[in-house]
Amino acid sequence: MSENMRIQPAEITGPFGAVVKRFAMRMLGRVPEPLRVYWHNRPVLKTYLAMGTKSQKWQACDPNLKSFAHMAVASLVGCTWCLDFGYFQAQNENVDVAKAQQVPRWRQSEVFTPLERDVMAYAEAMSHTPPTVTDEMFAGLLDQLGEAAMVELTAFIALANFYTRSNVAFGIESEGFAASCGLTPLAPWSAGTGVASES
C-alpha cells in the first residue's frame, strides 16, 4: 500500500465483494487499490466499474489512440497508478509497448505518428484547467477521425480525467503492474515543463 494513501483501502467482503474480487483476479491477478478504496462507497464503485466496462465496448476509435490518450492524461495529471496500469494493458492488449513507454515524453520522442501526436496534444488540452482545446486542433482531428470516433475519443479522455484525478486525490500510486511484465515506466510529466521528469 502506498504511504501517501489518504483513505485506507477497505477489506472487500460479501457476495458482491466476491464478484468484484473474482473479476479483479481474473483480469489482473490481484485486487487493485482503487477498488479497495471505492469499496467504502458501493454505489460509487458500481458506477466506476460500469463506466469502465461499458467504455471498453466502444469501437469507433482506434484502441491504440485511446490508450495513448489515457496515458497522456495520466502523465499530465501525475497519476503513476494509471501510467503503470497503462503499460501493463499495452503489454496485454497488443498495443505498441515501445510507444506506450514513451508517452510521458511524446513531444521529444520520434516513435509517434502525426495522428498519435495530435491525439495526445488533444488529450492534454482537454485536461488543462481551463481546457485549451482550439477550433483548429479539434477540426484537424475531426477530419482525420470522423464524427463517431471524435465523440468517442473525447468521452474517453474525459473518463481518463475522472480516473486519474480521483487516484491522485486519494493518494493512490503505482502498484507495479508494469514491473510484472518486465517493463520500466518512464517518469511522469513534470508540471510546468511539458516534459517527463527524471527520477
| Range list of H helices, the chain | 14-28, 33-38, 42-55, 63-77, 80-92, 97-102, 114-127, 135-145, 147-170, 177-180
pLDDT value at position 193? 41
Residue 195, strand partner residues: 190
Q: Are 124 and 76 in contact (CB under 8 A)?
A: yes
Q: Measured between alpha carbons, how far is residue 193 from residues 34, 105, 197, 198 in Å?
A: 28, 11, 9, 12
The rounded distance, in Å, linking the Cα atoms of 131 and 79 is 18
How high is the mean pLDDT in each 10-residue block of the chain (199 residues)? 84 96 90 96 95 94 94 94 85 78 92 97 98 98 98 98 97 83 56 43
* pTM of the shown model: 0.88
